[in-house]
Each structure stands twice: as C-alpha cells, then as structure tokens.
Amino acid sequence: MDSDQVHLRLVVRRALAGNRKKSAPRPSVAWLADAFDARSEELRQRLNVLFGPAAIDALFAHALRVAGAEHTWLADAVQLTSQGLSTQRLRENGTVPGAVAVEKALVAILATALEALVNFIGRDLVLPIVADTWGRQVIETSAEAENVDE
C-alpha cells in the first residue's frame, strides 16, 4: 500500500470514529455500520452536487468491487442501492467476521472511493471536499491540513 492509500484509510478511519473517544471500547459491528452509513451518505450527497448521481454510483460501485476483492465477504454485506451504499445486509447477516474485520472492510470501501477521486481530479481538490464533508479534524494535522483551504 502506498502512502496515499495509507493516508486515505487513516482519514476514513477518523471519519468513522467521529466523536468516539480513543479510550472507548472497540465499537460493535452495528455501531460501525451506523457510522459507515452516515459517512457514506454525507460523502454521496456532497459529491452528487459536484459530479452527479450517475458518476457517484459508478465511483461507489468501483469502490465496492475493489474492496470486495480484498474482503470477499463484502458482497453479501454491503450493497449499492438507489439511495447509496447500504449496510442493511451486514446488520442482518449473523456470520460477519467480527468488528475488526468489518471496520477494515468499511474503511477500504470509502478509502478506495477517495483514492479514485484523487487519481481522477487530484489530492488538492479531494482533501478540501473531504474536510468540508467530514470536518477538518479527519485530515492529519500537518502542512497538508493547513493547505486544505487553498
């Protein structure tokens, strides 16, 4: 994994964690599903304005396909619906691999979508969109974060 992929996964992990304290116990699968649904919907709404629903559906379909190759059980757990990404089947499936694996897979989906955007339109445009959508706190405190507004 290159540094961009690692960084984007960290950004998504922070976005999923939201206001959860670091000292809090590891989140449950249901909590992760709720956080994923909320963050993916926020991202979908923001990107729909910029690129249109067909492009965002294609972006999320690509992200599911790529993350699904890494986490083969995802095909039965997360779907792209007319309302965006859905974890409904994840909630209904009693055989999910556990919260750690679920978190890695959900992070992989959103990070893959962001990575595709970085490849197509560039990091300098994607990071401000992410900061506007999920908050500046999800972007590392670094020179990169200071340049988000540019």
The pLDDT of residue 131 is above 90: yes
Asked if residue 44 is part of any domain, the answer here is yes
Query: Within a domain: residue 135?
Result: no
pLDDT tens digits, 81-121 = 988 999 998 888 766 788 999 999 999 999 999 999 999 99
Q: How many domains does the chain have?
A: 1
3-state SS assignment for residue 85: strand
pLDDT exceeds cutoff 70 at 22: no
| Assigned domain for 59 exists | yes
Q: Could you tell me if residue 81 is inside a domain?
A: yes
* Contact between 42 and 91 (Cβ < 8 Å): no
Cβ atoms 133, 141 nearer than 8 A = no
Residue 103 lies in domain: 3-17+28-120
**pLDDT number for residue 92:** 85
Q: Is residue 23 part of a domain?
A: no
Residue 23 has a pLDDT of 61
Task: Yes or no: say if 105 and 67 are a contact pair by the CB < 8 Å rule.
Answer: yes
Alpha carbon 50 to chain centroid, angstroms: 18
Q: Which of 138, 146, 145 is nearest to 8 (CA)?
A: 138
**Nearest-5° angle of CA 137, CA 14, CA 142?**
45
Residue 73 included in any domain = yes
The answer to whether residue 38 is domain-embedded is yes
In a domain, 32, yes or no: yes
- Average pLDDT over every residue of 56-78: 94
pTM score, whole prediction: 0.88
SS3 at position 113:
helix
